[in-house]
């Protein structure tokens, strides 16, 4: 409408109506009250205080509640003021969901949060523990045990940055990573999530946090959460504290140690994480000297919050407060009191969120949990949400989908695989090495259950919570990588479990045997015997008895290998390398040299366990730090 038409219409409007229109306009302006918390120019502390002062108890308790996507909807988020939604392991919109589908889902939940009275955005979180591992087509990096063998914190930082981009590609701003456990016993089903048995290596690898979140500015206040921008994600140091030290490596069990031992072995990586600005800390299911960590006020509030001055928020593990009692959920009222009063700020209650919300509301109204504790929790959650720019950027866009499984990230993962491989044996003696293998040969054999299986080489926490055998996502199997690398005249024969007659009747120049553990995670991976599952041992003995062989082990930890060692010509620990199997072939055939060093002690028998570097009676099969080297071959 042009100005002259507008003036004509105004001229025809009776003066009394003009006056009413002007009056209504000023009333509307007055009602659109300026709010400090919505002003990005205001300091975060002021914004938190302003918003906290406006919130009802229902709104505060909603912020403390994190629910799984399977029970979430825009309506649920709006009705209960839900502060956070997560994808548990394998909880996805559909098995092969695109990045766009993920973004649409996350934004759908967010619209529910933005339609509440105060428009506090919800925070979406996911386990991205070796890349964006729950998402189809994402780059899957080696698990932490392999990264520990690289001794390369800058590589791990670059992996953090790549993971952040892939997580953001699906519209998610929060990753439940890194695991900074110090695994002291390989019988533990989560040992592969630990960088090392040595706290010094685990401390060095906290460099993944500035990879995920960005480098904190010089002279910034220590302990305050930080995020460098919308291409970074909020990290979570886990699992506080002592999760890698349980008796016999039993998952979620009891860590028996002195306070000095806890602080010198299991705590130091938390110091580094907090100094590097980690935004959240996740509590461990395990106990310390019989006290469940989810109920340990001394360590959560007394040590982490008060002594270490951690200013981010503390989050429970999945149904973590339920497991304060045995059996879990036996006395949920007690569990809520114990967990919240211990200092947990955000509670992961994936399914029974109304029970939690009603229970916590009752306990606050009846003075079992002080309002000051609720305010501390919500203040911390809001501080993190303001810090990461969630109020200014609540909705994800599609500009970053190009990063999911990108070529650059796959090349980085391939580099990580190369550097993580540990050469444990190479020929009868240093004078007669088998590796690197020649690319030109008349006929070679590739055997084993893990040679042509993406799921097996990725391990647990891949697509599904427990992982899954089979070609479950996009990547390069070790068999494909070998074929890609060999000279075109070399015949490659693949037989998963060849019989002795077949082996004798074919004249193989050499054999590559790729065997290992099946995928597993958490308690399902606990193992008292650490033996290679069948048919791994029989494949090794059959093939290596007949053909010159290199055995490539795909495992989440050291396993029983001594009985077969004499038969094996060359032995490589490849850990759980992820989707980029080409990195294995790169080193086997000499395009790059072996450089990895054991980040864990390799035991002779399980009777020695736990065995760790520095023990008085230290008599390993391969000591901590062991790893033979080879030189790259220019052309072979």
State how far the Cα of 448 lies from the Cα of 343, in Å rounded to an integer: 49
What pLDDT score does 29 carry? 47
Shared domain for 524 and 569, answered yes or no, is yes
What is the extent of the structural domain holding 540? 421-608
Same domain membership, residue 289 and residue 155: yes
Q: Does residue 298 have an active-site annotation?
A: no
Inter-helix orientation angle 153-169/407-420, to 10°: 150
Q: Give whole-number Cα distances, 235 to 13, 77, 213, 320, in Å.
A: 60, 23, 7, 19
Q: Is residue 600 part of a domain?
A: yes
Q: Evaluate whether 568 touches 544 at the Cβ level (below 8 Å).
A: yes
Please indicate, yes or no, whether residues 435 and 548 belong to a single structural domain of this protein: yes
Could you tell me the pTM of the whole model? 0.95
Tell whether 441 and 396 lie within a shared domain.
Answer: no
Strand order in the sheet with 549-554: 422-426, 570-573, 549-554, 510-516, 443-447, 491-495
Helix, strand or coil, per DSSP, at residue 93? coil
Please list the ranges in the chain whose pLDDT falls under 50: 1-11, 22, 29-30
**Phi, psi for 517 (deg, rounded to 5):** -85, 155
180 strand-pairing partners: none
CB atoms within 10 A of CB 91: 16
Whether 341 and 368 share a structural domain: yes
Same domain, 60 and 161: yes
The torsion angles phi and psi of 597, rounded to 5 degrees, stand at -125, 140
Q: Given the structure tokens 């959560």, which residue do they identify?
A: 300
pLDDT of residue 20: 58
**Tokens in use for 232?**
């970074």
Whether residues 363 and 430 fall in one domain: no
Do 399 and 433 lie in one domain? The reply is: no
Choose, from 317, 415, 452, 591, the residue flagged as catalytic: 317
Listed residues 403, 437, 464: the one ending a domain: 403
For the chain, what is the total number of helices (H) and then of strands (E)? 22, 17
Task: Establish whether 317 is a catalytic residue.
Answer: yes
pLDDT at 437: 98
**3 domain residue, yes or no:** no
What is the pLDDT, as a whole number, of residue 448? 98
User: Does residue 270 lie in a domain region?
Assistant: yes
CATH of the domain at 176: 3.20.20.300
Helices 371-387 & 44-54, crossing angle to 10 degrees? 130
Same domain, 399 and 431: no
Q: What's the pLDDT score for residue 19? A: 55
The reply to whether 69 falls in a domain is: no
Q: What is the pLDDT of residue 1?
A: 47
Classify residue 580: in a domain, yes or no: yes
Nearest 10 degrees: Cα torsion 410, 205, 130, 233 = -90
In a domain, 279, yes or no: yes
Return the SS3 of 563: helix
Domain presence at residue 78: no
Co-location of 349 and 455 in the same domain? no
The pLDDT of residue 636 is 54
Distances (CA, A) of 383 to 230, 239, 378, 540: 16, 22, 8, 55
Q: Which residues pair with 622 in a beta bridge?
A: 602
**Total number of domains in the chain:** 2
Query: Using alpha carbons only, what angle is made at residue 194 by residues 189 and 196, rounded to the nearest 5 degrees?
Result: 120
What does the block give as tokens for 400? Answer: 């970053």
Q: What is the CATH number of the domain that holds 541?
A: 3.40.50.1700
C-alpha–C-alpha distance, residues 304 and 387, integer Å: 20
235 and 319 within one domain: yes
Spatial contact of 350 and 319, defined as CB atoms under 8 Å apart: yes
Q: Three-state secondary structure along 425-458?
A: EECCCCCCCCCCCCCCCCEEEEECCCCCCHHHHH
pLDDT attached to residue 8 = 45
Structure tokens at 550: 């290199």
Same domain, 493 and 371: no
> Which of these is catalytic: 59, 207, 522, 569?
522
In a domain, 627, yes or no: no
Given a contact cutoff of 8 angstroms between Cβ atoms, the answer to whether 475 and 578 are in contact is: yes
Query: Distance (Å, rounded) from C-alpha 194 to C-alpha 255?
Result: 16
What pLDDT score does 10 carry?
Answer: 46
């Amino acid at each position: 409408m042009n100005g002259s038409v507008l003036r004509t219409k105004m001229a025809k409007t009776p003066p009394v109506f003009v006056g009413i229109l002007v009056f209504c306009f000023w009333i509307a302006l007055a009602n659109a009250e300026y709010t400090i918390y919505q002003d990005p120019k205001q300091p975060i502390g002021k914004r938190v205080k302003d918003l906290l002062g406006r919130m009802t108890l229902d709104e505060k308790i909603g912020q403390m509640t994190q629910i799984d996507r399977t029970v979430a909807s825009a309506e649920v988020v709006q009705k209960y003021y839900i502060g956070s939604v997560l994808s548990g392991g394998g909880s996805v919109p559909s098995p092969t969901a695109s990045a766009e589908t993920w973004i649409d889902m996350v934004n759908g939940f967010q619209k529910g949060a933005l339609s509440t009275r105060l428009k506090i955005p919800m925070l979406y979180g996911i386990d991205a523990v070796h890349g964006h591992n729950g998402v189809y087509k994402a780059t899957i990096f080696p698990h932490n045990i392999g990264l520990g063998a690289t001794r390369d914190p800058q590589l791990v930082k670059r992996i953090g940055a790549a993971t952040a981009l892939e997580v953001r590609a699906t519209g998610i701003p929060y990753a439940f990573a890194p695991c900074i456990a110090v695994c002291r016993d390989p019988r533990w089903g989560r040992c592969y999530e630990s960088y090392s048995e040595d706290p010094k290596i685990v401390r060095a690898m906290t460099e993944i946090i500035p990879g995920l979140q960005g480098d904190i500015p010089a002279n910034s206040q220590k302990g305050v959460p930080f995020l460098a921008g919308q291409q970074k994600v909020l990290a979570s140091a886990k699992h506080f504290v002592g999760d890698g030290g349980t008796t016999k490596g039993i998952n979620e069990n009891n860590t028996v140690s002195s306070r000095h031992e806890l602080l010198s072995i299991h705590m130091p990586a938390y110091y580094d994480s907090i100094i590097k600005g980690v935004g959240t800390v996740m509590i461990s299911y395990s106990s310390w000297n019989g006290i469940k960590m989810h109920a340990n006020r001394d360590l959560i509030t007394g040590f982490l919050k008060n002594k270490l001055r951690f200013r981010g928020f503390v989050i429970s593990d999945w149904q973590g407060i339920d497991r304060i009692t045995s059996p879990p959920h036996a006395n949920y009222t007690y569990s809520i009191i114990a967990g919240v009063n211990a200092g947990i700020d955000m509670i992961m209650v994936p399914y029974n969120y109304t029970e939690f919300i009603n229970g916590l509301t009752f306990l606050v109204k009846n003075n079992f949990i002080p309002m000051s504790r609720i305010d501390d929790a919500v203040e911390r959650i809001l501080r993190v949400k303001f810090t990461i720019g969630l109020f200014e950027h609540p909705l994800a866009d599609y500009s970053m989908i190009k990063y999911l499984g990108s070529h650059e990230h796959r090349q980085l993962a391939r580099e990580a695989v190369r550097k993580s491989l540990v050469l444990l044996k190479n020929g009868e003696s240093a004078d007669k090495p088998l590796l690197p293998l020649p690319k030109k040969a008349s006929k070679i054999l590739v055997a084993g259950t893990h040679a042509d299986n993406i799921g097996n080489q990725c391990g647990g926490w891949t697509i599904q919570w427990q992982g899954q055998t089979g070609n479950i996502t996009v990547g390069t199997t070790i068999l494909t990588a070998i074929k890609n690398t060999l000279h075109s005249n070399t015949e490659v024969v693949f037989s998963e479990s060849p019989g002795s007659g077949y082996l004798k009747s074919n004249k193989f120049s050499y054999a590559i045997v790729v065997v290992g553990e099946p995928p597993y995670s958490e308690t399902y991976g606990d193992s008292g015997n650490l033996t290679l599952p069948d048919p791994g041992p029989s494949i090794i003995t059959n093939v290596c008895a007949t053909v010159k062989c290199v055995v490539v082990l795909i495992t989440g930890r050291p396993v029983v290998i001594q009985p077969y060692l004499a038969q094996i010509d060359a032995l490589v620990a490849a850990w759980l390398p992820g989707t980029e199997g080409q990195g294995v072939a790169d080193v086997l055939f000499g395009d790059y040299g072996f450089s990895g060093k054991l980040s864990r002690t390799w035991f002779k028998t399980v009777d020695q366990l736990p065995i760790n570097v520095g023990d008085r009676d230290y008599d390993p099969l391969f000591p901590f730090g062991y790893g033979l080297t080879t030189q790259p071959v220019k052309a072979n």
